[in-house]
Structure formats: C-alpha cells, structure tokens
Copies of this chain bind each other. A is one copy, B any other.
Amino acid sequence: MKVLLVGDVVGKVGRRMLKSAIPIIKAENGVTLVVANGENAAGGNGLTHEIMDDLLASGVDVLSSGNHIFDKKEVLEFLDDVPALLRPLNLPLGTPGHGYVVTGIHGIPVAVINLAGRAFMPFQYDDPFAAIDRVLDSLAPEVRVILVDFHAETTSEKAALAWYLDGKVSVVVGTHTHVQTADERILPQGTAFITDLGMTGPRDSVIGVKTELVIQKLKTQMPVRFDTATGPGQFGGLIVDIDEQSGRAREVKRIFYRE
C-alpha cells in the first residue's frame, strides 16, 4: 500500500495547497491513506472543528499534531471524540485526546502514532522512547503497518528515534521545523525515514509567518505579534510504499513543489 504523509499545514494557504494536492497525488501514485499534521491549520495556531472537518472531508485520513494542538480552546470540545485527530502521545496521563489510532484501509489495519520531542520544545513531554515502546507492545500482532509522526526540533533526536524504531515501524517522519529535509531513505531494517516533511503553507514566509515580522522580532528583541503569511504556496510530503505483510517500507518518494 502507498501512504502520503504531509507535515505542518499552515493556515489558509496550507489548507488550499493540501486540498488541491491530495486528489492528484492519490491518482498519480495510487496512494490510499493520507496523514497530515494539522497543528498550524487554523491561522498557524491549532485547529477548529470546522477546519478539521474540512481537512478530513478533503481526503486526509488522520490528522497528527504537536505543540500547537491546544492553541484553540474549542479543540477540547471534540478532541476526545475524534479518533482521526491525534495529539502527542507522550503528554501526561489524563490529557484529553489520544496519541495514536488504529484505522483500516481496504481491510489492512494501519496504526498512526504521534510523538513529541524533548529538546528545545515549548512544552515538557515525557520520554518518547518509553511511550512508543508501550504502544507497540500493546498493538495486535496483525497491525504491521505503523506510521509515526515525531514532532521535534532537533535533527539528532529525530534520527535517534528513527534508528531506534528501525524494523519496528513502517515509517518515521519528523515534523515541527517547517522545512523539508532532503534525507529521505529506508533504514537497514525497513523503516522509511525523513528528518522533516516540511511545511505545506505560504511559500514566501519564515516557516509560515510573515517574513518582516520575524525579522523585526529578531532585530529588535521586542515582542512582535506573528501573523501567518499569505500569497503563493508550497507543498511538501512523502509517499511511502509499504509491504502490507511485513510492514516494511519498499520505496520512498519525496515531494516538494512551490507555486
């Protein structure tokens, strides 16, 4: 089976890019499952119910997230009830929502797991290694296709987790830095890995924010309100072809284009 994974979808531009890309990429590549990180879908900060519905209706099967998941308060009203919307697994016990989901495509069970990193993150997460070990132990043996979105800042934490999971999951994709890396590969035991999927959002921006605002913040070291950029967009994602019997990745294809 072929899956498409998409990184942080930022604002209106990101949603537009995602929605126009999905049918084409599905048709051209035979993709049957789409995972996208929605933490920045609502103007850069979190998700509303309306936006979630819109993304799920557009062909996204599972929405992962990260540190921005709780930015919009209203997410608490539906996070518990929507299996297709994930928050980082390694939040404290009792946190609303869930960190993974087992869904099915044409009778093949697929687990999607969402983790957050610990180095230089704005919130404090529990050990992602221990957290995913517990989930992997609990999955039914017939769940062999396992996709991991690891939302983290540093390249080293992402690579270390991917190597740790090599042979135990089908795919590890990094998100959060909003810039796609060029290092997609299949690790020796069959796990596909890319350090970061990059942002799907406004092309002429600093990780989605209006360029002049970020420059102003850095040059003045004074508080600046960050607004999401508009204008032309860019799309980034990764297609992974997975052997359904073994759960191993067979092929990996990186996608990145700008309007």
CB-nearest residue of chain B to A226 = B156
CB-nearest residue of chain B to A211 = B163
| Chief secondary structure at chain A's binding surface | loop
Most chain B CB inside 10 Å of its own CB: which residue of A120, A156, A258: A156
Do B182 and A155 touch across chains, with their CB atoms under 8 A apart? Answer: no
Q: Does A56 contact B (CB under 8 A)?
A: no
A127-B124, A163-B211, A182-B180 known; A206 and B93 CB under 8 Å? no
Q: Supply 15 further A-B pairs (C-beta < 8 A) apart from A163-B206, A179-B183.
A: A91-B220, A92-B221, A95-B220, A95-B222, A119-B124, A120-B153, A125-B221, A153-B153, A159-B207, A159-B211, A161-B218, A179-B195, A182-B198, A182-B254, A188-B204
Closest Cβ of chain B to A93, distance in Å, is 6
- Segment 173-195 of A: residues with Cβ below 8 Å from B: 177-183, 185, 188, 195
Contacts of A243 in B (CB 8 A): none
Do B155 and A207 touch across chains, with their CB atoms under 8 A apart? Answer: yes
Do B180 and A95 touch across chains, with their CB atoms under 8 A apart? Answer: no
- Segment 121-171 of A: residues with Cβ below 8 Å from B: 123-127, 129-130, 153-157, 159-161, 163-164
Q: Does A107 contact B (CB under 8 A)?
A: no
Do A118 and B127 touch across chains, with their CB atoms under 8 A apart? Answer: no
The 8 Å CB contact of A159, one of B119, B159, B196, B206, is: B206
The 8 Å CB contact of A221, one of B95, B164, B223, is: B95
Q: How far is the CA of A164 from the CA of B256 in the complex (A)?
A: 24
A-B contact pairs, 29 of them (CB 8 A): A70-B222, A92-B219, A92-B221, A93-B130, A95-B220, A95-B221, A119-B124, A120-B120, A120-B153, A124-B127, A124-B218, A126-B126, A127-B219, A129-B219, A155-B177, A156-B206, A160-B206, A160-B211, A160-B214, A163-B211, A179-B182, A179-B196, A181-B181, A181-B182, A181-B196, A181-B198, A182-B182, A182-B198, A188-B204
Q: How far is the CA of A124 from the CA of B195 in the complex (A)?
A: 21
Q: How far is the CA of A24 from the CA of B204 in the complex (A)?
A: 34
Most chain B CB inside 10 Å of its own CB: which residue of A124, A207, A258: A124
Q: How far is the CA of A93 from the CA of B129 in the complex (A)?
A: 11
Do A130 and B92 touch across chains, with their CB atoms under 8 A apart? Answer: yes
Q: Does A215 contact B (CB under 8 A)?
A: yes
CB-nearest residue of chain B to A69 = B222
Contacts of A124 in B (CB 8 A): 118-119, 127, 218, 221
Closest Cβ of chain B to A59, distance in Å, is 24
